[in-house]
Amino acid sequence: MELYDLLSAESVIEKLNVASKKQALQEVARRAARVTGLEERAIFDTLLERERLGTTGVGKGIAIPHGKLAGLDRPYGIFARLTKPIDFDAIDDQPVDILFALLAPLDAGADHLKALARVSRLFRDRDMCEKLRGSDQADALYGLLTEPSTSASHAA
């Protein structure tokens, strides 16, 4: 599974200006509702419930909130580049400035895990993270996120 399978140009938030984890999840849920056609509140509740199980702040300024929802026909991703880092209760106690939300159908099973693994691999690439942090143009971010990568195919 590649990121171009998960993202559309409308799925990219290039300058998310929020002050808290809750606000970030609300804004991501708002964009995800537009992209998926699902209720914003259902998306927010799903993401918040997952955070209650344990933080999705994976370290190095990155968070990957995720959840499964009824009514989706495939996995969806929402990428957000925050204008300023926020506390996300990350495992390394560092603030988060890159967020990638992953939403999957209730019955996604392995597809959900494959998508999560693919997103995690992307953000382990330090050069990619620097490029993403260095751009505040939605089309450039979308291009970076969806370009086929040779390292991604080797890491599978």
Active site residues: 66
- 60 touches 92 (CB < 8 A): yes
| C-beta separation of 59 from 92 below 8 A | yes
For 31, 40, 95, the CA distances from 24, given in Å and listed in that order, are: 11, 13, 13
Assess contact for 108 and 152: CB atoms under 8 A.
Answer: no
